[in-house]
Structure 1
Amino acid sequence: MKDVFNLALLREIADELHRAHAPFDADAFVARCMDGLDRLELTARAAHIAEAMHAHLPRPFAEAAAVIEAALGPELPADGKIGHAAMRYMPHLAFVQTYGLDDYEAAIRLQAELTKRFTAEFSIRAFLEKYPERTYARMLAWAVDDNAHLRRLASEGTRPRLPWAPRLRAYQHDPRPVLELLELLKDDPVPYVRRSVANNLNDIAKDNPALTIATCRRWAKHAPEGRAWIVRHALRSLVKAGDRDAIRILGGAENPSVRIGRIAIAPQPVVLGDAVRLSFAIESTAPQPQRLLIDYAVHFVKANGGARPKVFKLRALTLQPGEKAVLSAAVSFAAMTTRRHFPGHHRIDALINGEAHPLGGFEVTG
């Protein structure tokens, strides 16, 4: 992914800035960007290019911001499909975050334009930290803006636990201001925005489960489908953890009565780099229909030989008395940046409305 920032793209960025501001030295900018670029990873490359922008754009920041805004391409459609091409604006946002903190209005204006072409969810956090009340007020305004990208930023930018970003400790401690924002967005017409609302609530649930439960219980009453989807997605971590209130909000049966059979786990053993396939049948043994939220947990072996479960979503379904369903999944043991795999015995459980049902295990070999 880091290779998106290559010589060809840097020349494009340089030409755009030169067209917006004739004194901009495109060749010198590209040369400065390329110096040491190949040794850097993705975010470091963006920061390196931002430093080159700072060296070649006019001062003060407001003048540089005006050049960048004039050089911007068209807005993205509000469908959440950002793609590699839009990553060209990562350096622009790094520039704002690094050099624009002391010029609030110019920096906020530029981030509002950049988020329509990539996302300002990372850079805006520095402004929430330095200017919490002022930036929160701007978020409230964006939450009712006609532009879906700005509405989405109001939610995504305030996520307390946004991945790959510093946590917003104030909102972890007291998420009520964030919940006030999300109230404005819970029935947003754009799925791209609603997905962010759900992810924000899921973040809040990790530090403030009771507030999340209360919010989702209220939102679930007479909810249109878009809001019902938010509630389901927002409660996913609590459901994985077996939280009874979350399962109850989603209609899950109390003390589900089921029979598990026809369990298959193959291949045996599994070689590191391959995948294991799991299937099992579930039969309802209750005298009435049951709503079942079905996940599964793989107890991955750690470096020290112990094991830690990771829960994966599987399916939600309603079974009539005596009705059966067959469920299946695959677990990859390919190398990945987010999880390192180790040889050893791995157990698998089915989680039915939070209750664990052992399915067996398998060996992983090197």
Structure 2
Amino acid sequence: MSTTSSGTGFSLKDQLFNRERVTYLARLFHEQDHEFDQTAFVRTTMRGFSKLELKERIVRIATTLERFLSDDFRVAAKQITQALPPPLDPRRSDDDFGDFIFAPLGEYVVRNGMDPKHLKLSLRTLKSLTQRFSMEDAIRSFINEYPDETMRELSKWATHSHYHVRRLASEGTRPLLPWSKRLLIDSTAAIPILDEVHGDRTRYVTRSVANHLNDISKSHPDVVLLTLERWKREERQSADELHWMSQHALRTLVKKGDRDALQFLGFRSCPDVEISEFSLRRTEIRPGEAVEFSFVVDARRDERLMVDFVIDFMKANGKRSPKVHKLKQLEVKKGSQTVIQKKHVLRANATTYTLYPGTHQLALQINGQNRGTLSFELL
């Protein structure tokens, strides 16, 4: 995981975990227990701190806490929950991620609360912590170690009054959660939890549900489509929100041109349109410059179109790797003619791909089907 943006000097790890934030955490503990030596805690934590990566800083803070909190986990858990600030504002509905400085507290619970006798206390502690910062990474250790007990508890959390707890029931059980350990349970095991939270009125929760389904779609596309069809019949979620969730949940299948996914979203797999004048403005491009192309769509009947373009990037070994980019969705009427233009910059310092010179291909994809391919040279 890269935490520094090349070219800008911005460091995520330095913004999230620094002396100021560590001091803030120490002050919270000291205010609740004056025997907590906040000066020594900060001094110990910060030794060599600047050389550590983001996750290493989380572990450092957690391991340092082991020296300053009680050796008895039951007491330490109480020290943690009593030091916490008020929960995040439950009136908000999105983009309220909380304070990353509380992530090490989840790591502390994983490191010290995994004993069976502490399971209920550990889960209660994570439930309190996730209302300040998501415990999606920490909960996965308990799912793997105690799958039945933890999943039963998460099923209860799916109806909790605080939306951060409801979100964790979905986010923590995602099969392919980025930057987190893989779960040992079946990738569809949390469908009953999603059945409960998919009707949530909070976008922060429904986005997690959609991402969760997208994860499942990579191994069980049929399960995802059947689930969405069932939710549509149940009408527990508003039509507009469920449509948004469905688009987000099926995005990987749509990029692959999956006929069933496109049909569910209302797109015919073989739209009756003619594509003409598909052309590149330039066929020789340098890193940092843009691929510019245009084409004309002639509609022979009313159609809903999902228009994407695919760039086959040259790799270091001479092979190509396709990357699908969204262009636009539109509705065309029979007999209409639509001109579409696109300018896509090939950034030299992109974090998601590396540019190599050679012949690249640009393909036009409409409703999942290739409708033309052009080539250009990256110099």
Q: Which moved further from structure 2: 217-226 or 117-126?
A: 217-226
Q: Decide whether aligned partners of structure 1 residues 280 and 86 sit closer, same or farther in structure 2, where only a CA change above 3 A counts.
A: same
Corresponding residue number in structure 2 for 1:204: 216
**Structure 2 CA distance, aligned partners of 1:182 and 1:319?**
35
TM-score (norm 2): 0.89
Matched, 1:91 2:67: no
Q: Does 1:358 align with 2:369?
A: no
Aligned position for 1:258: 273
Distance 1:265 1:74 in 2: 56
Partner of 2:165: 150
Q: How do 1:4-19 residues align onto structure 2 when only pairs under 5 Å count?
A: 4-19=16-31
Match of 2:261 in 1: 246
1:264-343 matches, within 5 Å, as 265=280, 269-272=284-287, 274-286=288-300, 288-323=301-336, 324-343=338-357
Deviation at 1:327, TM superposition (A): 4.7
Question: Which 10-residue stretch deviates more, 54-63 or 187-196?
Answer: 54-63
Contact kept, 8 Å, 1:116 with 1:150, in 2: the verdict is: yes
1:349 counterpart residue number: 363
Change (3 A) 1:149 1:261: same
* Farther-moved stretch of structure 1 (354-363 vs 179-188): 354-363
Match of 1:112 in 2: 127
Deviation at 1:122, TM superposition (A): 0.7
Q: Which residue of 2 aligns with 1:2?
A: 13
Deviation at 1:253, TM superposition (A): 1.6
The alpha-carbon distance between structure 1 residues 215 and 348, as it changes in their structure 2 partners (threshold 3 A), is same
Query: How far, CA to CA, are the matches of 1:182 and 1:43 in structure 2?
Result: 29
C-alpha deviation, 1:263, in angstroms: 4.3
Match of 1:180, SS state, is helix
- 1:66 aligns with 78
Separation of aligned partners in 1, 2:113 and 2:289: 47
Greater Cα shift, 30-39 or 200-209: 30-39
Note closer, same or farther for the CA distance 1:266–1:89 as it changes in structure 2 (3 Å cut): farther
Q: Matches of residues 153-232 of structure 1 in structure 2 within 5 Å?
A: 153-172=168-187, 175=188, 177-221=189-233, 224-232=239-247
**Other structure's SS at 1:73 match:** coil
Q: Cα–Cα, structure 1 residues 217 and 284, in superposed 2: closer, same or farther, change >3 Å?
A: farther
Instruction: Report the CA distance shift for 1:338/1:254 in structure 2 as closer, same or farther (over 3 A).
Output: closer
TM-score, reference length from structure 1: 0.92
Amino acid at match of 2:330: L
- Aligned AA (1:284): D
- Give the structure 2 partner of residue 49 of structure 1: 61
SS of the aligned residue for 1:2 comes to helix
- Aligned-residue sequence identity (percent) comes to 35
Output the aligned Cα RMSD: 2.0
The 10-residue stretch of structure 1 (144-153 or 351-360) with the greater mean CA deviation from structure 2: 351-360
Q: Deviation at 1:26?
A: 0.9
**Deviation at residue 161 of structure 1 after TM alignment:** 0.8
- What is the aligned length? 359
Shift of 1:268: 5.3
Provide Cα deviations, 1:26-85, integer angstroms capped at 9, x if missing partner. Answer: 1111111111211111011111111001111112122112112122223334444246x7
1:2 partner letter: K
- Specify the code of the residue in structure 2 equivalent to 1:127: F
The 10-residue stretch of structure 1 (138-147 or 195-204) with the greater mean CA deviation from structure 2 = 138-147
Contact 1:253 1:291 in 2 (8 A): yes
SS in 2 for 1:116: coil
Unmatched 5+ residue regions in structure 2? 1-11
| CA shift for structure 1 position 271 | 3.0
Q: CA deviation at 1:216?
A: 2.1
Look up the equivalent residue of 1:63 and give its one-letter code. V
The letter for the 2-side match of 1:116 is Q
What is the DSSP-based 3-state SS (H/G/I as helix, E as strand, rest coil) of the residue aligned with 1:181? helix
Per-residue CA distance 1:96-148 (angstroms, 9 max, x = gap)? 22222122122212211221122111110000011111111111111111111
Tell me how far apart the structure 2 counterparts of residues 75 and 344 of structure 1 sit (CA, whole Å): 53
- Contact 2:281-2:293 within 8 A present in 1 as well: no
Structure 1 gaps of 5+ residues are: none
